[in-house]
Amino acid sequence: MNRNLNILTVELDIVRGDKAANLAAVDEALRIMPPSTDVVVLPEMFSTGFIVDADDANGLAEWNSGDTMRRLHRLSAENHVAIAGSFLARTASHIYNRAFFIEPDGSETFYDKRHLFRMGGETKVYSQGSATAPIIRYRGWNIKLIVCYDLRFPAWCRSTHDEPFDLLIVVANWPKARHSAWHTLLAARAIENECYVCGVNRRGTDVADGIDYATDSTSILNFKGKPVETSQHHCLRYASLSIDALASFREKFPAWKDADSFTLHL
């Protein structure tokens, strides 16, 4: 029988461009997390903040084999947890807003953000991802991973007959000004996919651009779009998700059987 999945979200007040400070905050969170934690979820671009200056982005971007990913691999292995989030990544010719899912055994899954936030200048600096958002099999759960603006596009977030998922993880830097849209969209994705949704946002203010982020905007929702019971300590939130409750609801209310088929064209 599949076990419950225990999630710890870390709503960081990201220090712009300061990888050492942001990684130290992750270290601290893992030192005080509940020992039963299975997955730790960090915000979008957790180590740098949301950077849309081309020169800054080029200076901060890292390879998958760089210091940030090596540090997360070590933390994952030492603490026996998976770690998800996104970071500022480079290849030989491109820069990406790259999501990651690092597992204790060293397995890693990456996803380059498909929907770039043009209103914030992301399209001018980053390359668009060319693959669908991955579904990761971890400790008996199917987990789909997307990034921030992806949340606004329901076809991109759809659970299908061929590739169903149990949990949608959304990592974000979603401004306070659009706080209502964030919570509405998270609930919509949970209801339409009959799945759990974990939306992890940053907090604080990005002093470089003056954008405010709401405190306590992270949400963990069940398959009805309702908040899951959590325990909270400062910027940390912990919840236990029940695979049995999810399976029971899907059996009693199998709306997924009547879903329309569609094909994504990349």
Catalytic residue annotation? 44, 113, 148
Distance (Å, whole) CA 131 – CA 213: 29
- Cα distance between residue 115 and residue 156, in whole Å: 9
Going from the C-alpha of 149 to that of each of 36, 117, 119, 126, the distances in angstroms are: 31, 6, 11, 14
Angle ∠(114,256,187) on CA atoms, nearest 5: 55
In degrees rounded to 5, what are phi and psi of residue 58?
Answer: -65, -35
DSSP string, 3-35: PPEEEEEE-----TT-HHHHHHHHHHHHHSS-T
Structure tokens at 252: 């009693």
Q: Are strands 39-41 and 5-10 parallel, antiparallel or unpaired?
A: parallel
192: exposed, middle or buried (Cβ count in 10 Å: 0-12, 13-18, 19+) = middle
